[in-house]
Amino acid sequence: MRIIAVALGLVSAFFAFWTVRLLIVTGFLQHTRAGGQGAYVGAVIFPVLALTLAWASRRCWRRGRGRSAR
């Protein structure tokens, strides 16, 4: 479970980084290209994914704690 927790944590960090990068590149969504509605979708989906995966990672980490003692 701990390996899964680390993997989920890394993917969560990736989406957190990508959210920050998206906001910086687009000037906090002020400078999007024509037809760039994907930036708005990404601004919603990336943080949701990052938080969900961080929650799942923490849950897996805690679940693995009891099993490592055996």
Per residue in 22-63, pLDDT tens?
A: 999 999 988 888 888 889 999 999 999 999 999 999 999 999
Domains of the chain: total? 1
- pLDDT for 34: 85
Whether 68 has a pLDDT exceeding 70, the answer reads no
Q: Which of 53, 61, 67, 62 is nearest to 17 (CA)?
A: 53
Q: Which of 12, 54, 55 is nearest to 20 (CA)?
A: 12
Where in the sequence is the domain holding 59, given as residue range(s)?
2-68
Q: How far is CA 32 from the centre of its chain?
A: 22
Give residue for tokens 């910086």: 24
Query: Is the CB of residue 55 less than 8 Å from the CB of residue 7?
Result: no
Whether 69 has a pLDDT exceeding 60, the answer reads no
Query: Is the CB of residue 42 less than 8 Å from the CB of residue 22?
Result: yes
pLDDT category, 67, cuts 50, 70, 90? Answer: low
pLDDT category, 6, cuts 50, 70, 90? Answer: very high
